[in-house]
Amino acid sequence: MNDRLRRLPTYPMEQLAGWKRDLEARGQRVFDFGTGDPREPTPAILRQALAAAIEPVSQYPPTAGTAALRAAVAGYLQRRFGQTVDPATEVLATFGSKEALFHLPMTFVQVPSEKDLVLYGEPAYPVYEIGALFAEAWTYAVPLSLSNGYAMDPDLVPAPVLRRAAVVFLNYPHNPTGFLLPDALFRRWVELREEYGFVLVADECYVDLGYDGQRPRSLLEFGRKGCLVVHSLSKRSGMTGYRSGFVAGDAELIATYRRFRASMGTAPQEFVQAAAALAWTEPSHVEQRLAVFAEKRRVLMELCARRRLRVHGSQAGLYLWVEVPEGQNDVGYAARLREVGILVAPGSFFGGGQERFVRLALVPTADECRAAAAAWPE
């Protein structure tokens, strides 16, 4: 076995699933704020579109995405961010966002070479590191914390690291904290991409989930050359199990990535692509889901205020980043909550130095959030 992979800890979502099974085995009612997989039904119009597109004969789906899906993505990027992209050359369909984030280092990092490094902020969605390790690349985690507003600032990165970087991942709205990246830092990363020549990738799967008037930005608003964005329908459209997303950006990078997509075998089924085309075109279901998430967030924010728990960031996305009570750590506090059936993710699941925080995913229904708030220990 690859020694670098052997040293990886258990994937956090597997640990959370194990804790949930343990609670269910003892007959405990579970309030699952762990893995980001909302309980609300997939909107009926999307389920109907999917069912209507199932053909009598099952055949391989188009790897790059149907023309209808890529046109729908282009329309979404124009409406949402004011960005015109060519659906034929600047958009690719993906099997959700995770597989694309996993595969990008395999495509764009040459090992060995002078540019053999993948750069990302930490705490982080684990797939940035995991994809880099499977690609045999080296990694550099930029330490993010309250002191820097969890903003991935290039001034935190030594110049030799930037010169060595082949791929740089941004992730805003940030998972796990829900912080946003200031426009000035988007611009700075684009400037440095031009200087150092790395591929700049923005994981934007939560970009449509902004609260209190927030409208998160896209990397494409700041640059196109050498830049890619990765989007997903999992949370915004309730299609986690359907697995559909896209990569868009620099036509040359898209052409390179497209060349290898068939080998990866990860195109969504054509009936899923039909539902996805509607999802990127029809905005009302997103507004309805966002209203539901906002209500769950309101319930939990009020709970945290009553329990004197400080919530940081959480301006957008699917998560609340909550500071644990004084004198406790993330693992201990999460264990205490599990005693009453409340499942949360310890901050240390997402990287070092986060032992003062837990992550709450806006997953249970609003009524379940209210019930969990009533059960929450003092």
What's residue 3's pLDDT? Answer: 77
Minimal CA–CA distance to 152: which of 189, 118, 119, 121? 121
Q: Do 349 and 237 share a structural domain?
A: no
pTM: 0.96
Q: What is the mean pLDDT of residues 68-75?
A: 98
Under the banding of pLDDT at 50, 70 and 90, the label for residue 378 is confident
Range of the domain at 320: 3-40+285-375
Q: What is the pLDDT of residues 107-130, one digit of tens each?
A: 999 999 999 999 999 999 999 999
In a shared domain, residues 249 and 326? no
> Is the pLDDT at 8 greater than 80, yes or no?
no
Q: What is the pLDDT of residue 242?
A: 95
The residue from 243, 267, 282 where one domain ends is: 282
Residue-wise pLDDT tens digits, 298-308? 999 999 999 99
Provide the mean pLDDT of the chain: 95
Same domain, 273 and 297: no
Q: Mark out the alpha helices in the chain (DSSP H runs).
A: 3-6, 12-25, 44-52, 67-81, 98-108, 127-134, 159-164, 183-196, 251-264, 270-281, 284-306, 330-338, 366-375
Cα–Cα distance list, 83 to 67, 193, 199, 325 (Å): 18, 20, 19, 44
Residues 60 and 11 in one domain: no
What is the pLDDT, as a whole number, of residue 265? 77
pLDDT value for 2: 75
Q: Specify whether 268 is located in the same domain as 297.
A: no
Q: What percent of the chain has pLDDT over 90?
A: 91
pLDDT at 176: 97
Overall domain count for the chain: 2
Checking if the pLDDT of 193 tops 80, the result is: yes
What is the spatial distance between Cα 83 and Cα 231, in angstroms, rounded to a whole number?
15
* Domain CATH number, residue 186: 3.40.640.10
pLDDT digit string, tens, across residues 36-51? 889 899 999 999 999 9
Helix axis angle for 67-81 and 270-281, nearest 10°, is 20
Boundary of a domain, candidates 282, 307, 339 = 282
**163 plus 124 within the same structural domain:** yes
Q: Is the pLDDT of residue 229 over 90?
A: yes
Q: Kindly state whether residues 345 and 289 are assigned to the same domain.
A: yes
Residue 42: what residue type? T
Last residue of a domain, one of 259, 282, 305: 282
Q: Which helix (H) or strand (E) holds 190?
A: helix 183-196
Same domain, 185 and 309: no
Q: What is the CATH number of the domain that holds 352?
A: 3.90.1150.10
State whether 189 and 86 are in the same domain.
yes
Q: pLDDT tier at 370 (50, 70, 90 boundaries)?
A: very high
Q: Out of 1-15, 61-75, 248-262, which region has the weakest mean confidence (pLDDT)?
A: 1-15
Query: What strands lie across the sheet with 117-122, from one edge to the other?
Result: 91-94, 245-249, 227-232, 199-203, 165-171, 117-122, 138-143
**Same domain membership, residue 141 and residue 49:** yes
Write down the pLDDT at residue 287.
Answer: 97
Residues 94 and 206 in one domain: yes
Do 55 and 190 fall within a single domain?
Answer: yes
Q: Specify the 3-state DSSP secondary structure of 122.
A: strand
Spatial separation of the C-alpha atoms in residues 188 and 99, rounded to whole Å: 27
